[in-house]
Amino acid sequence: MTPHFAVLCGAIAAWFVVRRRFVAAMICAAGALSGLVGTLPGRSLSVSANGAAETVALLVFNARVENATPERAHALLLDTQADVVVLLEPSATLLDALRSDEVLRRRLPHRWLPDRAGPGFMVVLSAWPQRAGRDWDEGPAATVVRGTREMLVDRPQGAFALLAIHPDSPRSHERWRTGNQTVEDAAARVRDRLVPTGLPVVVAGDLNSPPMGARVRALCKGTGLRSAKPLLVPAGTYPGGWRWPFSLAIDDALVSAGVGVTGWRTLEGAGSDHAPVLIRLVIPVSAASE
C-alpha cells in the first residue's frame, strides 16, 4: 500500500501547511516523498499513446466460482474485444457457456477446456495458436504446468511468451505459504523457460498481490519483468465494486522490457468480487519470432 501511504502523507502535509505548522508539514512531506520514491522502480508513470496498430488486448478476469450472474460474465467475454483472455475461477455455468458459444469460439478459438473441467478451472483463450510442451511443439493441452498455463502465443505480428498464474490468496498461513511457492515456481519458469526463448514475456492473472507487494516483487526479481499497471492510473481490481484508494490492483500483468502499455482500465465486475482489467500491450517483434 505504498502509493496509498504517499497520498495520505501528502494530504496530511497540505493540511499542516494550511494550519501553518510547517515542521509537521515537512515531516509528512518527507513521508510522502519516500513513499513516492518507493513506487518508482520498474514502474511506468502513465500509459503510452503510440503503437496502437500493434496493440494486443489482454483481459484478466477472476469471474468467481460463486458468481450468481454467470450470464453477465459470459456477456463480458463476448462484448470485450480481447485478443487474449486469462479467465480465472469460472463457474460451471460459465464453462458450459464457453463450450457452446460458437461466436466466442470463432473469435478466440485457441484454448484448453476439457469436458471434465469443473468450476475454478483456469482457461486461457486466444485469437492465435498456443504452443507448449518441452520443445514448444505441442498444443494447448500441454500448457498446464503446476497450476499455471505456460505457452508461446503465435501472433502473426510477432510471437510472445505467456504465463497465466493464480497463487492462493493469503487468507491463512497455509495459503500464504502455498501461494508464495506458486510464485517462486513461476519466477523460476520465467527465468529458465520463457526468457531463454528470446521472445517478449507476459505474466498475467490474479496475483493476489498489488504492484508493490511481496509476490509481485518476487516475480520481478531476476526476471526483468515490471508491472503493467501505470503508477498514475488510480484504479484497483479488488474489492471489485470499490474505487481507489479503497481497492488494490491485484489482477494485473507483468511484462518484459520493450513491451509497452497503451491502456490499463477496469471494467464492470459482471457479478464477481474482482473487477476485470483490460490491458493493451504493444508487443514488439523479436528476433526469435522473425
Residue 41: predicted pLDDT: 63
Q: Is the pLDDT score of 287 beyond 70?
A: no
pLDDT, averaged across the chain: 90
pLDDT in tens, 207-244: 999 888 889 999 998 899 999 998 888 899 999 888 88
For residue 71, give the C-alpha cell.
450470464
**Global confidence as pTM:** 0.88
pLDDT in tens, 67-80: 999 999 999 999 99
Residue 262's pLDDT band, with cuts at 50, 70 and 90, is very high
